[in-house]
Amino acid sequence: MSLVKVRNLNKWFGRLHALKDVNLEVREGEVAVVIGASGSGKSTLLRCLNFLEVPEQGQVIFDGKVIDPRRDDLNLLRREVGMVFQHFNLFPHMSVLENIIEAPVMVKKVPREKAIEEAQALLHKVGLADKVDAYPCQLSGGQQQRVAIARALAMHPRLMLFDEPTSALDPELVGEVLAVMKQLAGEGMTMIVVTHEMGFAREVADRVIFMDEGRIVEEGEPAQVFSRPQKSRTRDFLSRVL
């Protein structure tokens, strides 16, 4: 059963055709990794999945339901879909704990005490139990990103979207974030991950999706895409990044 399905998605920015007939299906528990050159439409695709961008054409079907962005569906969808960005986007004036409980308390009306308990468990899970009262500016990039992951998880999403979650990090901090993501994948979370970390893709992805100029050019199991790419554009891209 597919948790999210995208049908003939097209997105324009003015005259720029950023997504061209994108079709995609991600099953429950699957980890899909999206790769491709800068400007190929990876972020736009993720943003269309939770309607941070509204596609001009096509459908996003979540859990069997066509999402209509003009209706209430959007709030429901956004509760079910967590997103982690390249630049963490924590609230700078809030402590780590406050960052994590904000949405559960304000949006989901979870009782504060319960939200705090859960936040503590999530911080433990991402290895930051001792940072509960810290402010984002007191944390390393890797720690901030792990808080951002905990914050997304606090809403109990059924799908997690990651847009280059390690691209802004110093190299020595990349591993700790990837380790949390790998753990999450191991627990069965459905994930769509845009990344340039080909090692992570090889090891963790069930499926690798290569995008070029707004299209999905090739997809398959990591071993297939990395070792026996079928399309010349995929081969060109891989020869530059591997």
Q: Which of residues 112-171 bind ligand ADP (CB under 6 A)?
A: none
Least Å from the CB of residue 54 to ligand ADP: 11
Contacted by 95, from ligand ADP, Mg ion, none: CB < 5 to 8 Å by type: none
**117: Cα within 13 Å, side-chain hemisphere:** 5
Q: Which of residues 1-20 bind ligand ADP (CB under 6 A)?
A: 13, 16, 18
Spatial separation of the C-alpha atoms in residues 128 and 122, rounded to whole Å: 9
Degrees to nearest 5, angle at CA 18 with 13 and 21: 125
Single residue of 26, 31, 32, 43 touching ligand ADP by CB under 6 A: 43
Q: Does 43 bind Mg ion (CB under 5 A)?
A: yes
Q: Does 44 bind ligand ADP (CB under 6 A)?
A: yes
Q: Which of residues 22-41 bind ligand ADP (CB under 6 A)?
A: 36, 38-41
And the tokens for 21? 């007939």
Closest residue to Mg ion using C-beta atoms: 43
* Closer residue to ligand ADP (CB): 18 or 150: 18
Q: Which residues contact 141 (CB under 8 A, 6 or more apart)?
A: 88, 168, 169, 170, 173
Least Å from the CB of residue 73 to ligand ADP: 23
Q: Within a 10 A sphere around the Cβ of 16, how many other Cβ atoms?
A: 11
Burial class for 66, CB neighbours closer than 10 Å (0-12, 13-18, 19+): exposed
Spatial separation of the C-alpha atoms in residues 185 and 172, rounded to whole Å: 22
And the tokens for 19? 């997504």
Contacted by 165, from ligand ADP, Mg ion, none: CB < 5 to 8 Å by type: none
Mark the segment that binds Mg ion (CB under 5 A) among 39-47, 93-101, 171-179, 221-229.
39-47
Binding site residues, Mg ion, CB under 5 A: 42-43
Binding site residues, ligand ADP, CB under 6 A: 13, 16, 18, 36, 38-44
